[in-house]
């Protein structure tokens, strides 16, 4: 026992829920992609748009249809496998954060930090409030978890120092 509380703080549980949602969405997307593997996506997209009253012959609508058809004809199994792997990693992180596992907190800091360069690059080329919000949330997550990790380290050091004192000292 490390002397730390077993129950995760509410903010940590909130992060865990968010990670679990991302993991479940990734697995669901992979399943959806696999279910469409042998489908004529060009025709399916046309039908979907027509059913919702959207003209599939408009320029931008046509670009979307063609992009969907092109994107799904390239190794859908590999894309789905990557999505499942990503989902499983996010679910494992969510489990660890929910249970206040030290490894999960480190993993969350590292994984959030890995995305920052990509997010800054994206923001530099296509600035938007959404991208700025994602950057802000990731920075807030990193600061919160780093602070939590430093507090835990200080508590472990204090507990270790207390355990090393001779019985007569107090």
pTM value is 0.70
Residues 9-35 pLDDT 10s: 888 999 999 999 999 999 999 998 888
Q: Is the pLDDT of residue 4 over 50?
A: no
Q: Assign 1 a pLDDT band (cuts: 50, 70, 90).
A: very low
- Alpha-carbon span 53 to 73, nearest angstrom: 26
Q: Is the pLDDT of residue 78 over 70?
A: yes
What percent of the chain stands above pLDDT 70?
89
- Alpha-carbon span 144 to 147, nearest angstrom: 5
């Amino acid at each position: 026992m490390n002397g730390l509380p077993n129950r995760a703080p509410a903010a940590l549980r909130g992060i865990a829920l968010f990670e679990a949602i991302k993991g479940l969405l990734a697995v669901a997307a992979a399943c959806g992609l696999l279910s469409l593997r042998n489908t004529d996506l060009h025709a399916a997209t046309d039908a979907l748009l027509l059913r919702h009253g959207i003209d599939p012959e408009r320029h931008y609508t046509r670009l979307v249809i063609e992009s969907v058809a092109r994107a799904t004809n390239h190794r859908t199994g590999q894309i789905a496998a990557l999505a499942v792997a990503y989902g499983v990693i996010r679910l494992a992180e969510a489990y660890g954060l929910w249970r206040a596992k030290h490894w999960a907190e480190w993993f969350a800091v590292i994984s959030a930090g890995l995305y920052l360069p990509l997010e800054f690059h994206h923001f530099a080329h296509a600035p938007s409030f959404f991208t700025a919000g994602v950057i802000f949330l990731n920075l807030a997550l990193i600061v919160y978890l780093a602070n939590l990790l430093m507090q835990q380290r200080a508590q472990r050091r204090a507990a270790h120092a207390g355990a090393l004192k001779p019985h007569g000292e107090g």
